[in-house]
Structure 1
């Protein structure tokens, strides 16, 4: 399919069939001719940039990039799709729902889309704004009177829009231990209640720091306005009108729905299912932030809707152009990384309502990623090129997702050079070689702690937002156990002069230091920290502040 150029050709230059340019007025003065020639050369550079978007789409070439990534990274399963000018030009699935079980992944397979759920939550609110049910600048307490942050002024000033753009002043991932590892015993109400106990790291609205907890609040604002639970609301406002027929929200039955990909981790050189679904998928608190599931075909439909702003569902557009613009407005600046500058020639980076915004090779890019243990998703839109790309993977695949999406995007933005999977994998390898491995030996030699070492940590402990934990002797072991997050269950060991918790669950892969302390006149206190400070920020152990609540029973 030949792409239609978006933009106009200069009257002083014409694009020839061979891709070169020539002046249109050769009979003018030398001085004017030189100026026009210089102007034409600039115009030709712009046209060359457009040319990449006007070449014939090669579905086989796109599929080959996916196959290369699967082979290089040994992925358990992947589903990739591409939309160009409203048409799906690629649906490509490889692998299995469960490695080794023989059930193939296809375009209807359900994946956890993780944080790609955020744009859907924001879209529900945008439709409510369209309907006059709320305003972006409404105070959150107008719709959720019980909502509180640690600072009373922030509580009063927090607007609906602030819930979506990561400007709260909390640290990255603050409160995520109430959401993950899942499943756990936290309720949505407890997550929102816990926010009042999370201490800010920076001033409100002063900087970007990614969070999930406030998206839970956003979902509950939408539910309060509509008078229905959020899962029913997202089905009514997003899935049903857009024909996203496989998407699931809330609680549902795994086998009745069927064709559900399971998350994998690579353990001892093989793919192992982790955090496998039970027969009943629970309505987890994280739904509005990262708990929705959709198929490749659903996500391609979602991409098409955003790439066709004037398309209507029924008698009116699904979302007004005003609210589409609001969703894709740069509300909060984000860091512009060296990689973005070097790989994509990007000039800015920002967060909209549920979307990340930047530019790549001179064209707008709207995107998001989603990451849960053993599940990776990515959606990239190039609105000026009419291109949408979806990547869904059911394995631990951070680098694979980065490399594959980068290679796919460059097929529509780059005018020259090699932009395949091998190229970007090599660039990442070079980055690692330059930076070195910053990770220390995370599981050094350990021993059983002596009674003296344990004296200050044994007992029952309480954190105001995370709840109760125990650190008690069980036979020969000293065990840390969380009441509300049962997967945070591990052995306390001595590593050098420090105490470390090593989690027993294979899919909880970030161990923690125990940091006991005493203040004069106060009850004993206990803090925690990630052993690897660069590990996933959702393990926000640093935000915990336990106070001794009693002895072991």
Structure 2
């Protein structure tokens, strides 16, 4: 950024409580370059009106069509707040309550102990306090999961082992939102997608949005997902698994999401005169109350003292104001929605690459202007931080693969037959370790995309290199008990948490 422009930005940011269109354009364009993001869409709502809604960059590096305010993105986990809104509406109708037991609606629901099963409520489904670990069981839906239907996921929850006591600790969860979607269907008689589209999207006139990619009526204005792969940006196959919809299925645009944000900031009211309601003010307040504590980091510029999760939303204080927010991520698409209710302000950023630092740079720049915080160059700051994190992670992965290359050079011999066979995990099913022409391979029966070549690392530990290089999730495989048992772990600390290899416990069949 040129010095004169920086001075101008500093002056305007510190002098006014708003940000100009030119300034948003500037940070968005800088973000595209700094984080290698092909396209982004940004909208800002203030006092019940859209004051900015615009696209930047391209929908796909293959076609070069421009992003605009109506371009569709997968909003991913920003779908979760739609799920809790649906429950709130059903509570208003007297059809259910937040503290109803899940087993009341789904008799086959079963967790890791009878006590937890019997006590587990609808509220517990959507507050990330189950006792299960971060992303536990996500390999049933990620990166493939087409073989696992909601009924399979519900049946397999009992095999996931807790890492903390029930209701004592925050650990982000996806699978229980899928269960919440099944509860909504049981209570309302409508599928999750039907409910969201007819009861929420239609009244709000979110006319181009849908509960799932496969339900979009028009896909002519939609992004491709992009992932940095082997040093180059690559278009990857779109995630389409409908089992994941209640947790991450929605496709929408910033124009449509602006209508959603305005309704939220109006405590459930919508319409030109706020004459209609989706849910009551009481239910609005319920969704925006802390349910699960998340340790806060009190530091500049926001001085956050309290942080936690409500019902479908992250909640915290920033510079003395309440902040209601959520992020979302699918492979190649990440998003963020941020609401500051006391300022009647909403910000949504949708991107077609998976750099969370990119949407944070844009959101925080806009947010700081309204909070009257002195300008920070978040693009440069987050870009450097991202590079440092990647370099640190690359050091670990490089050491692993260097050791493997050394083993090859030294012609270290491994008796593959001692390790081959079929291994079963109670919730993930079977994997097959095979040998062909001196090479070892990994294949999953229920998640076919998890396939790759296996290399000897050290002792009884091997590394699997996935054929799909966009996963960025190569893993270690450790054999024990005379090679009858297998445990796995991601090699890189930057591997997405939904590759929950650590939760697998395989036994030879």
TM-score by length of 2: 0.90
C-alpha displacement of 1:96: 1.9
Contact 1:275–1:507 under 8 Å retained in 2: no
Query: Which of 285, 296, 300 matches 2:243?
Result: 285
Q: Could you say which residue in structure 1 is the equivalent of 2:486?
A: 526
Q: Distance in 1 between matches of 2:106 and 2:133?
A: 23
- Whole-angstrom CA distance in 1 between matches of 2:76 and 2:386: 27
1:411 aligns with one of 369, 391, 396: 369
Instruction: Provide the aligned length of Structure 1 versus Structure 2.
Output: 489
Q: Match for residue 371 of structure 1? A: 329
Map 1:285-364 onto structure 2 (within 5 A).
285-309=243-267, 311-312=269-270, 316-337=276-297, 341-364=299-322
Q: 1:82 to 1:256 in 2, by over 3 A?
A: closer
Counterpart of 1:481?
443
Q: Is the 8 A contact 2:39 2:67 kept in 1?
A: yes
- Structure 2 residues without counterparts, runs of 5 or longer: 1-12
Q: Is the 8 A contact 1:184 1:487 kept in 2?
A: no
Shift of 1:419: 2.3
Q: Check 1:250–1:269 CA distance in 2 against 1; reply closer, same or farther (3 A cut).
A: closer
Shift of 1:224: 0.7
| Mapping for residues 492-531 of structure 1, pairs under 5 Å | 492-497=454-459, 498-518=461-481, 524-531=484-491
Partners of 1:311 and 1:543 lie apart in 2 by 43
Normalised to the residue count of structure 1, the TM-score between the two structures is: 0.83
Alignment partner for residue 391 of structure 1, among 342, 349, 362? Answer: 349
Give per-residue Cα distances to partners, 1:7-27, cap 9 Å, x unaligned. Answer: xxxxxxxxxxxxxxxxxxxxx
176, 189, 202: which is aligned to 1:214?
Answer: 176
What does the per-residue CA deviation read over 1:380-399, in whole Å, with 9 as the maximum and x for residues that have no partner? 00111111001000012122
Higher relative contact order (CA closer than 8 Å, sequence separation 6+): 2
Give the CA deviation at 1:315.
Answer: 6.0
Whether contact under 8 Å (2:208, 2:218) holds in the other structure is no
- Considering only aligned residues, what root-mean-square deviation do their CA atoms show, in Å? 2.6
Contact 2:73–2:251 under 8 Å retained in 1:
yes
Larger radius of gyration: 1
1:55 is the counterpart of 2:17:
yes
Q: CA contact under 8 A between 2:112 and 2:162: conserved in structure 1?
A: yes
Q: 1:182 to 1:107 in 2, by over 3 A?
A: farther
Contact map agreement 1:487 1:508 (CA 8 A) in 2:
no
Provide the C-alpha distance between the structure 2 equivalents of 1:527 and 1:348, rounded to a whole number of angstroms: 37
- Tell me the secondary structure at the aligned position of residue 186 of structure 1: coil
Conserved in 2, the CA contact under 8 Å of 1:53 and 1:385? Answer: no
For the 8 Å contact 1:184–1:486, the answer to whether it is kept is: no
Residue in structure 2 matching 1:170, options 132, 140, 143: 132
Judged with a 3 Å threshold, the aligned counterparts in structure 2 of structure 1 residues 140 and 486 are, in CA distance, closer, same or farther, namely same
CA distance in 2, matches of 1:400, 1:202: 33
> Is residue 530–residue 541 contact of structure 1 (8 Å, CA) maintained in 2?
yes
Cα distance in 2 for partners of 1:52, 1:387 equals 18
Q: Is the 8 A contact 1:350 1:357 kept in 2?
A: yes
Cα distance in 2 for residues equivalent to 1:255 and 1:244: 12
SS in 2 for 1:194: helix
CA distance in 1, matches of 2:31, 2:496: 23
Equivalent position of 1:428 in the other structure: 385
CA displacement 1:20-64 (0-9 Å, x = unmatched):
xxxxxxxxxxxxxxxxxxxxxxxxxxxxxxx97973542222222
- 1:420 deviation in Å? 3.3
Range with bigger deviation, 54-63 or 300-309: 54-63
1:108 alignment partner in structure 2: 70
Which residue in 1 is equivalent to 2:160? Answer: 198
Q: Secondary structure at the match of 2:370?
A: helix
1:537 aligns with 2:493: no
